[in-house]
Chain A
């Protein structure tokens, strides 16, 4: 009869076990491991006979069940009792099952919470042009957000399909100068404004490196508006003459 159960119905071995225990009306603290293991293995056999892939985790759980069963068969030595708090080999499994049930329950609660764009809706304002003077609301960016923004940019830049390989000299120093010059014109600058249109992959990379170098040298600060992932550059207060010392080689990008 357990063959009627489809594996899709379960979110994993813990879910399946919960189902089996409940079906047998067992007390969770007194799981009859032998019986449950048999049913569990029957279930897996049934799935295999239907040529369905059994995910590895189902097999791991089968092994765990068998291990618990065998530990329950072994006599317990007295010194082990002193060493191990847990006498019942089933204890960890029981804890996991109850814990899993908590989250399963909470998932149900969440499913019924009002959700945005399903039950609750917002007035969706047009994405307003960012006020040049004030700039958008900025927050400090985390490394991961920065990497994500970079990836987004790379996605937009078409991959270059080049047959003839020509040595193209892309100078980070030059881009650093460009960025600094642009920042003298405007106190805040979105990274995308620096990019040539249409986007060129290598340009994006070199500009990004130049930006990171500037941050490293504490010449600029970068911020990000979380929502649209734009990176904003603004100058850091620093004396400008440190720049003359920069040479291409010092970055090691040559």
Chain B
């Protein structure tokens, strides 16, 4: 098997996989050493970036996956097959707190947000973005929450260390932070997360 063929096989595997494919899994299937696979994957990622196709090979959720290029989103939406999540501010704030502070209890989330957050956490769990990690060994043994693999896939993150860096504020941010998130429509602000019809 020459390198070109191995590469083609990796492409075929990635094409057929349902979820992001880990490089370990590819090594296992091909019985080849990790260093080689890693190099080939890196090359494939670079090639897909420069090839100008409508899709990219992305490193998400500790694996590799073909995804459509974001700039063509509008065209794919016209297919009408996909129903995107609509995040409310409450849902996004809560999700972000869980992502950065995990493992985190509900009480900690509520202290940080200043509002009751049970319902929002539940919705995030139903959407499989958040899961229960276990119980904290303190009085009352409260549940502790963390983010899921689906969360990484959803936002196209490689792993948790790939979370955008939290900005440190020593003072109030300018008014840019004021007001609504760009995506939260007025009409959808009532429900935490909605799926559009």
| Residues on A facing B (Cβ under 8 Å) | 8-9, 11-15, 18-19, 21-22, 27-29, 55-57, 61, 96, 98-125, 127-128, 144, 226-227
Contacts and interface: CB of A to CB of B under 8 A. Distances in A.
B194 interface: no
Contacts of B92: 107, 110-111
B36 interface: no
B122 interface: no
A56 B116 CA distance: 9
Interface residues of B, number: 58
A111 B131 contact: no
Given A13-B114, A105-B169, A108-B181, A118 B73 contact: yes
Contacts of A57: 114-116
Nearest to B125: A148
B100 A100 contact: no
Interface string B150-182: 000111100000001011111111010111111
B6 interface: no
Contact of B19 (A8, A112, A227): A227
B52 interface: no
Contacts of B175: 22
Contact of B173 (A55, A101, A112, A119): A101
Contacts of B153: 116
B18 interface: yes
Given A11-B90, A11-B113, A107 B96 contact: yes
A115 B167 contact: no
Given A27-B171, A111-B92, A11 B115 contact: yes
B113 A100 contact: yes
A127 B6 CA distance: 26
B132 interface: yes
Contact of A105 (B65, B73, B173): B173
A170 B153 CA distance: 44
Among A27, A96, A114, the most chain B Cβ lie within 10 Å of the Cβ of A114
Contact of A120 (B73, B113, B131, B169): B73
B173 A99 contact: no
A64 B111 CA distance: 13
Given A110-B155, A125-B18, A21 B67 contact: no
A124 B15 CA distance: 10
Contact of A28 (B116, B172, B180): B172
A102 B178 contact: no
A109 B164 contact: yes
Contact of A111 (B113, B154, B181, B189): B181
Nearest to A13: B114
A121 B80 CA distance: 12
18 contacts: A11-B89, A13-B114, A13-B115, A18-B172, A96-B112, A103-B100, A106-B96, A107-B95, A110-B95, A111-B87, A114-B70, A115-B155, A115-B156, A118-B73, A118-B84, A122-B66, A123-B15, A123-B66
A227 B153 CA distance: 13
Contacts of B115: 11-13, 55, 57
Nearest to B110: A57
A116 B65 CA distance: 12
Contacts of B173: 101, 105
A12 B114 contact: yes
A21 B173 CA distance: 11
